[in-house]
Structure 1
Amino acid sequence: MPHLDATRLRLPTGPRADLALAGIVLVLTGVAEGQRLGSDRGATASVAGSWFLAVAVCAALPLRRRYPVAVGWFTVVGTGVYYLLSTVDGPLVLVPVAALYALAAQGRTRASVAMAAVMVIGVGAGVLVGTGDVNGTAVFMLTGWLVAVVALGAMRHGRVAYAEEEARLRATQERLRIARELHDVIGHNMSMIHVQASSALHRLRKDPAQAQEALTAIKQGSKEGLRELRATLGVLRQVDEEAPTAPSPGLSRIDELVSSAARAGLDVRVEQSGGRSPLPAAVDLAAYRIVQESLTNAVRHSGAGHVVVSIHRGERELTLSVRDDGRGATRSGREGGSGIAGMTERAHALGGTLSTGSGSADGFVVRCRIPFPDHHEPIGGAADDQDPAGG
């Protein structure tokens, strides 16, 4: 005996579901009308008219995706006329019910409510006329069914709209995250290359040895920038491609930032205190990027010669500050750039704070505090801010 795999059984969806429903209703209606014809030989003309309406109503259902409102009204009116001609309480009412649900699920609530009201009024009028086919209980039950159908369709529309909005929000957050990563990676390295290129052009004739040293720094900086750029763009790779294996940037690689800034003529001193236990990946990445952007701003805008990076790892939070001896916030023009906004977004995404302004002895200072739970539990919202280099 052949084995039936239930997992392979799938209900039809889309246009096939409409065809299947129309076919089933038409067959059941035909069986009911056939029994009516067998019991009443004089009802041939009435049965023919009922058959014609049933075929027309069922044939219209598959067209509802192209003409939803028109098909809805046609099925409602056609079914009403069918019940006036036929003495059989057949299943044709399922077709307008399906059309009403589809309209409500598309957000056309007014049209579906209007059609449901017409159906209830029509059936109620039949009761008042005294056709004998329906009574007050039938009107009450039909009203309840139609209200439930329209409500279910409206709920379906709300769920789909919510899911679409949530998907758009996730896509927007992902675009912002990629833009922030590209800004941090490209901005930092290009700033260092710009400074070194200017230095090389200035010293090319006067001091070729120093110009060669600057060109070597440019080569190293561009190589590092390309490596980080490839890792960042790895987030856009195809699903079946191999994931990047480069480690995520973190404070353990802060010496690379110091070396890069030193090649641009910036003297950077790093002061670390507190614990030495590993930080959560999202916090480690955010701290690295904030220090990176702060050094980039110091090279690009402030004209600073010295920078002090202070990092303190507490039990439940990381605090850091980056102070330079440049021109300060009021004259450097750093307040209007996107770099500070990106740093602030990183801190806020992890529940932290970031402030910028002039230091106590002029210059510019960036202060940041990022909390993290004990035992490095995941931070809400932080998982979306992972560095693409880590896959």
Structure 2
Amino acid sequence: MASPTVQANYGYCDTFFVESYEDTDGIFARAAAERERARAIAKVQQRHMAADLSRLTSEVYLNDVLDHMEVMETMPDINSIEIQTEIQWFMRPYLLDFLLEAHHAFQLLPETLFLAVNLLDRYCSKRVVYKRHYQLVGCASLLIAAKYGDRKERVPTIKELKSMCCSLYDDDMFTQMEWHVLQTLNWIIGHPTVTGFLDIALSETAADAEVQNMATYISEMALYHKDFVPVLPSVMARSSLALSRYVLGRPQVHHPEWAARYDSNVVMDLSNQLSRPSQALFRKYSSAHLSNVATTLEQFLQRQNLMQQQQQQQTASQQPYPSPAQSTLDVQQVPGAMMTPQTPQKPVYAAVPIGVLTPPETPEKDFYDNSSYNVNQNLMHRLHACSSVTSAPSHPPYQYSSYPTSYPSQ
């Protein structure tokens, strides 16, 4: 046991082998607090040094990282999706609404949704997909994307996905479809998403959270339309960022920077689709933690329409007799009709090339005529009969789900 005289001569000993006595003057307590304060200051300095080194390293290798990300962009073939016989473009908004609500229910990362849609489109461009399996492919794509880049505790389970699908599919069907998607894509999952390029573009320019949320909102809105399926994520990120700056009244970036090299045609196409977001997407981005960008965009469109009407009234007052060019109807986009997902339908093709059918159910042999690609009328009759079987189940709908289990026949 150490005496107070020994401790006074040799100072305070921070060990369990020395018995501490009552610190009447508070010397030892002040010394211990000073040491803790010095450690906290050292940790803060180390974090600042690490952040500075990381920033310097990212600036040095930024161009190499961008070049590698652009090389890794793996896009689907929209021409192969066009020749699908059962899945049509009008089904896409319903499936994306389902994936959007599932993504929100599981609180997954933003890049998980973009990766899931990319896997879905790439699979549909390589395999023949039946409409009764379209939702199953979407669930498998979301599951793969969540396992690839999301948090482990937030990855949805097969039981949860089955509940969201109203028990339309069995457990083994999810597992088999997940394996088949991976096999079809040759296990190539890594794909830089729009959010990754947005982070790089926003790191180059000082942008606030509202600009980022607006750009993400516009990018997710583009997922619903087939015209933006072949657009590269790097182009989509820069174009949506430029359009979001215009909507919010922010200054544009100078052209020497990478973030300013956007595609004007994509920006114009995106601006034409701003007034038609889906109901689920509008609700998602009307929340406060996403800066209420959906409401901001709706107000912007209302102001634009009001200004356009005023200009038309001024023009009409200056020209009492309309010219033949002005006598044609001027179709305008009404912001009030922005709650229904709309996607142009593609024409129905009478034949598809030979492909590998989608598990777990495959029709009988001789599905395609190898000589002339003409579909047998009896087989088409049986397919219509099978489609009537996949009607809405008797189970109550899931509280997050708005995806119908059957589609109207065209």
TM-score class, shorter: under 0.3
Larger radius of gyration: 1
Higher strand share: 1
Scaled by the length of structure 2, the TM-score of the pair is: 0.21
The TM-score normalised by the length of structure 1 is 0.22
Q: Which has the higher helix share?
A: 1
